[in-house]
């Protein structure tokens, strides 16, 4: 399986739903997703992107802060392309449970792909930071 890298793009102002964003915030969020997508596709050797948003609890949103997932993709990284959405849900659950000490509530479905620690995710964010000038964001 392709190494699942999931970058979240969030609005600066905390709002629960996409429709709560101003037109300017929508523009900023998706321009940021575009810039971030270019970088992570290149740095993680992808050839495409999945950009996903679950807007509201009935759509699968588990964090009440509007956000977009940007994921670099390759041919064959998932046998069925739509399975990525199941893995996005599992990743969100893993992150929630991982924050609790000694959690055993979540099991990875693929032994090759282990949940990343908060420290690993922070290190990855610091690595990606070099590709963005403060003035661009």
Active site residues per annotation: 67
Cα distance between residue 51 and residue 37, in whole Å: 9
**How far apart are the C-alpha atoms of 101 and 129, rounded to whole Å?**
28
Helices vs. strands in the chain: H and E counts, helices first: 3, 3
Q: How many CB atoms lie within 10 A of CB 68?
A: 21
Helices (H), 6-103: 23-43, 83-98
- Per the DSSP assignment, residues forming a β-bridge with 51 are 70
CA–CA dist 67, 97 (Å, integer): 19
């Amino acid at each position: 399986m392709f190494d699942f890298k999931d970058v979240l793009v969030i609005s600066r102002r905390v709002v629960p739903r996409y429709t709560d964003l101003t037109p300017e915030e929508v523009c900023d969020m998706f321009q940021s997703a575009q810039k971030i997508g270019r970088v992570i596709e290149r740095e993680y050797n992808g050839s495409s992107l999945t950009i996903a948003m679950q807007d509201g609890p009935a759509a699968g949103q588990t964090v009440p802060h509007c956000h977009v997932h940007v994921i670099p993709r390759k041919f064959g990284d998932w046998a069925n392309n739509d399975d990525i959405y199941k893995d996005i849900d599992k990743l969100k659950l893993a992150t929630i449970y991982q924050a609790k000490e000694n959690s055993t509530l979540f099991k990875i479905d693929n032994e090759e792909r282990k949940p990343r620690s908060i420290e690993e995710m922070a290190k990855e964010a610091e690595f990606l930071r070099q590709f963005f000038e403060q003035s661009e964001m």
